[in-house]
């Protein structure tokens, strides 16, 4: 139960003479490109929010750029001028001037960049080696395989309680196949990511949209010996997604034991189908 809900009476204490680093992770859902929300100011609201939070490291999933527009990469970088270092990977071209990917921005120098690609999938993980003071941290920014459930899928499941016919059963078979395929893909992706984490020469932070719950194989495999920032210092209900399917915790910040995290928060702003999450951390001497 504690993987979903945290009850905490006291804030975690930080050591004196420590300068913490704040990390924010947010699936921005293409900055509302397909106008799921009837609000053309969503992109500006998201960038204003990111600047207001003033995080030292910002990891964005479903990151979209559009050439010659307010969402061109140059204009986005100007909006995030206080976070000057960046690592961006595009995994899918929506059209000639629209590209979808994943992005990490940092106030601290990024001294090395890498990519984990997955077979027959636009989903990727990027890792950035970031120099924070005398320490180098490897930050993994993840967007794993989506199940892509739609409202019609839930209507189908609900309708089965009142009886079913052959057409409904055929639809259910297709839904079951899609679910199984997504679970298998995430399993393979999580195994590949776990192997890469284990070979890291630096202390690691793993964040992003895992598209799976805290009781899943995906979470179990990736977390392994890592600490979960929500379990370390989160409070209340941990759901990070409020889209078509039930409100689950599917976005995470995990980190090595040498890293101390505190002040984990979920900001319940509805400019995407995910809530942004963040925490602060510092590297211990152990």
Residue 197, SS3? helix
Number of structural domains (the chain) is 1
Encode pLDDT of 86-104 as tens digits: 999 999 999 999 999 999 9
Encode pLDDT of 27-51 as tens digits: 999 999 999 999 999 999 999 999 9
The number of CA neighbours under 13 Å toward the Cβ of 19 is 6
Contacts of 134 (CB under 8 A, 6+ apart): none
Smallest CA-to-CA distance from 252 within 129, 126, 144, 175 is with: 144
pTM: 0.89
Q: What is the CATH number of the domain that holds 55?
A: 3.60.10.10
Q: How many CB atoms lie within 10 A of CB 25?
A: 29
Q: How many CB atoms lie within 10 A of CB 76?
A: 22
Position 101 scores a pLDDT of: 97
Would you call 27 exposed, middle or buried from its count of C-beta atoms within 10 A (0-12, 13-18, 19+)?
buried
Q: Domain limits at 62? A: 5-283
Encode pLDDT of 205-249 as tens digits: 999 999 999 999 999 999 999 999 999 999 988 999 987 666 789
As separate numbers, helices (DSSP H) first and strands (DSSP E) second, the chain gives: 6, 14
Token couple for 185: 């893909």
Encode pLDDT of 217-227 as tens digits: 999 999 999 99
């Amino acid at each position: 139960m504690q993987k979903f809900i945290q009850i905490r009476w006291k804030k975690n204490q930080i050591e004196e003479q420590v300068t913490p680093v704040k990390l924010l992770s947010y699936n921005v859902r293409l900055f509302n490109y397909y106008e799921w929300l009837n609000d053309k100011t969503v992109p500006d609201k998201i960038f204003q929010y990111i600047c207001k939070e003033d995080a030292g490291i910002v990891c964005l999933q479903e990151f979209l750029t559009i050439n010659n527009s307010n969402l061109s990469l140059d204009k986005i970088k100007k909006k995030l001028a206080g976070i000057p270092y960046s690592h961006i990977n595009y995994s899918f071209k929506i059209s000639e001037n629209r590209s979808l990917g994943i992005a990490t921005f940092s106030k601290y120098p990024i001294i090395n960049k890498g990519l984990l690609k997955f077979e027959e999938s636009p989903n990727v993980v990027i890792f950035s080696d970031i120099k924070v003071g005398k320490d180098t941290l490897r930050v993994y920014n993840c967007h794993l395989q989506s199940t892509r459930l739609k409202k019609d899928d839930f209507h189908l499941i609900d309708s089965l309680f009142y009886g079913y016919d052959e057409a409904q059963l055929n639809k259910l078979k297709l839904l079951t196949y899609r679910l199984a395929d997504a679970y298998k893909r995430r399993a393979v992706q999580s195994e590949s990511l776990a192997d890469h984490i284990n070979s890291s020469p630096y202390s690691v932070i793993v964040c992003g949209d895992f598209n799976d719950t805290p009781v899943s194989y995906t979470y179990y495999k990736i977390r392994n010996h890592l600490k979960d920032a929500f379990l370390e210092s989160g409070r209340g209900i941990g759901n990070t997604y409020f889209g078509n399917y039930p409100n689950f915790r599917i976005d995470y910040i995990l980190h090595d034991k040498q890293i101390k995290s505190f002040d984990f928060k979920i900001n319940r702003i509805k400019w995407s189908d995910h809530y942004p999450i963040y925490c602060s951390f510092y590297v211990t001497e152990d």
